[in-house]
Chain A
Amino acid sequence: MSNIWSGPIEKIDDYRWRIPKTYKPGMRVPGIIYCNEKLLKDIRNDKAAEQVANVAFLPGIVNASLAMPDIHWGYGFPIGGVAATDPEEGGVISPGGVGFDINCGVRLLRTDLKYDDIKDKISDLVYALFNDIPSGVGSKGDIRVSVKEEKEILIKGARWAVEKGYGIEDDLDCTEENGAMQGADPLAVSERAYERGKAQSGTLGSGNHFLEIQVIDQLYNRDICDELNLDLGQVTIMIHSGSRGFGYQVCEDYTRSMVHCLNKYNINLPDRQLACAPVNSEEGKAYLGAMKCAANYAWANRQCLMYLTRKVFEKIFAMSWQKLGMFLIYDVAHNIAKIEKHLVDGKEKNLCVHRKGATRALPAGHPALPSRYKKIGQPVIIPGDMGRNSYLLVGQDKAAETFFSTCHGAGRLMSRSAAIRSINPDTLLKELESKGIIVKASGRGTIVEEAPQAYKDVNEVVNVVHNAGISKRVCRMRPLGVIKG
């Protein structure tokens, strides 16, 4: 199959490009891709732009089918896609607009440690973290839960972990949705999903999931850094994981049932993977209730992973995590659908916002922010690849045009098979080591698949969202130690 996309695309300004509504009959709104000329060339190399156009077919979609600069080819929605639908106008919810890894997301912890404090301990830390945090395909953790407890996790999310002693109240304040979406419905979850999620709490998973020790190497906004107690040379930790097998099964169950909804509700779509149902239908409500369970499961999981990380640091530094200043900056979801209030033509509406490989980015003063971030806006965490950088951003007022959404990472450039063909794992590890980066992974294949050259340059991606005004750079980190699944 040829993957080059040659459809029509019009320049709106330096950072926004439009796929006209006339491109395909059935598109209800245009597509808008946030990118620059350089990234656009990469975007045309696969079918991601076609997927932006396909999402524009969704009933009730508002304004445009949006894509962030880290957009790449997925299935159904593109990765980096954002779509808001209006339930009052027959708006739909699509499990494919969230993805299989529901509430895949990332959290960032600060520490009081400076680079000099850890430079001789990076190897010890990486090995200890790799040893104590279960990772890899189908990994199972030491944090075992009973069936009754599993249901509790689905309702309480990260709070469940905090009540078990795996964290503090402040962690919840620094987590999107306080670590639990309200309205999770365990009855909407299949037995199979429970079975698939069992024993995977507190595990990192595989693929692009990781845990990274980083150091801040660039400040962009001194005032916000001061507010967050961050400075050059300071050590941070980033954790990227999701809802594991539990979320995959919820997505699979509901995609299966919503394929039938296309006929039932007379919905015409160019791709069945976009299968959906009206938000207010029985099927739509059931999916949302189940999806929230998976989202809460993921928040509990990342809370457990943070707990295990704090324990490792305590062991290596013989000091409590509080004394090490290991406080959570923020935790964001980047695969999720939510009912949120947004202004449409000057009128406040409850919209169903799908973010598939995109991050919520609320501006300063937004009512949904915890009081500690009212002044600066919501911290947005952008992981890069393991050889380059990651970023901390904050939301901006202008992001109202993207339903307060921004990018979620670097975005893939090269297929996994091309990476395996062209990259030698030993050479790659040596290259990373020469840059002072120690990597430990469950499989050598993962290291190659996740090699820096397989990704777009995150610096380029972040430049676009910053210059387009949908989020603002705060500081940049570079990796020191990486644990991959």
Chain B
Amino acid sequence: MKDKTYEILEHTADIAVRIKAQDLKELFKNAGLAIFQISSRKQFAKNKSHIDLSIKLKADDLEQLFINWLNELLSLSATHNLVFYNIKINKLGGNNLEAIAIGNDMGNYKVYTEIKAATYHQLKIEETKEGWSAEVIFDV
């Protein structure tokens, strides 16, 4: 079985998460998917249509790109009423990101927690022996 790509860390009020990946592209993908895996679970299949949303972002540095990416997903999820269950990172480099987020109607999911946003507080993105890891705190 594949190792879990994220683990929840202790935080008094919010949700702190450590995400692991083999490379940076996968780190962005796993972090994005972690949001929806933590906050919801598929329950129904009322609406089978899937929506692909194309996301292009540019930032000053990696941390900014990471936080903007996670917040973009949260915002698009809320405005399109979608839960993203798959992500394709097409391009990542020079603080630019191009990705496709694939979502399914939120009505098909039981949503437990409202994650409001990803924050910079104690944000850590680092290259490790195994690949890449990130620690991020979400406001809930």
Contacts and interface: CB of A to CB of B under 8 A. Distances in A.
Interface of A: 1, 3, 45-48, 72-76, 79, 96, 99-101, 136-138, 192, 195-196, 205-207, 245, 248-249, 251-252, 256, 259-260, 271-273, 275, 412-418, 443, 445-446
A100 B13 contact: no
Nearest to A192: B75
Contact of A207 (B64, B68, B113): B113
Contact of A101 (B10, B81, B116): B116
Nearest to A72: B12
Contact of B113 (A1, A47, A137, A192): A137
A138 B137 contact: no
B62 interface: no
Given A48-B12, A72-B12, A417-B8, 18 more contacts: A46-B12, A73-B12, A75-B119, A75-B137, A101-B116, A137-B113, A138-B106, A206-B113, A245-B78, A248-B78, A248-B116, A256-B68, A259-B60, A259-B120, A271-B121, A271-B122, A275-B120, A415-B13
A215 B100 CA distance: 52
B116 A100 contact: yes
Contact of A196 (B13, B39, B75): B75
Contact of A252 (B11, B64, B117): B117
Given A256-B71, A445-B113, A418 B121 contact: no
A333 B31 CA distance: 33
Contact of B11 (A73, A195, A272): A73
Contacts of B113: 137, 206-207, 416, 445
Contacts of A260: 60
Contacts of B60: 259-260
B75 to A, nearest CB: 6
Nearest to B139: A100
Main secondary structure of the interface of B (DSSP, over half): mixed
A179 to B, nearest CB: 23
Contacts of A74: 13-14, 121, 139
Contacts of B39: 137
Interface of B: 8-16, 39, 60, 63-64, 68, 71, 74-75, 78-79, 81, 106, 110-114, 116-117, 119-123, 135, 137, 139-140
A251 B114 contact: no
Given A195-B79, A259-B64, A273-B121, A415 B11 contact: yes
Contacts of A446: 112
Given A138-B111, A260-B60, A248 B10 contact: no
B129 to A, nearest CB: 19
B114 A137 contact: yes
Contacts of A417: 8, 10, 15
B53 to A, nearest CB: 13
Nearest to B11: A415
A438 to B, nearest CB: 22
B14 A75 contact: yes
A273 B79 contact: no
A273 B119 contact: yes
B73 to A, nearest CB: 12
A249 B9 CA distance: 25
A138 B78 contact: yes
B12 to A, nearest CB: 4
A273 B114 contact: no
A271 B74 CA distance: 22
18 contacts: A47-B122, A48-B12, A72-B13, A99-B139, A137-B39, A137-B114, A138-B106, A196-B78, A249-B75, A252-B71, A252-B74, A256-B71, A259-B60, A271-B120, A416-B13, A417-B8, A417-B10, A446-B112
Which 4 A-B pairs have CB atoms at the shortest separation, nearest pair first? Answer: A75-B121, A272-B120, A75-B119, A100-B116
A7 to B, nearest CB: 16
A4 to B, nearest CB: 11
A3 B79 CA distance: 35
A138 B123 CA distance: 26
A75 B78 contact: no
A1 B117 CA distance: 21
B117 A207 contact: no
Contacts of A413: 12
B11 A207 contact: no
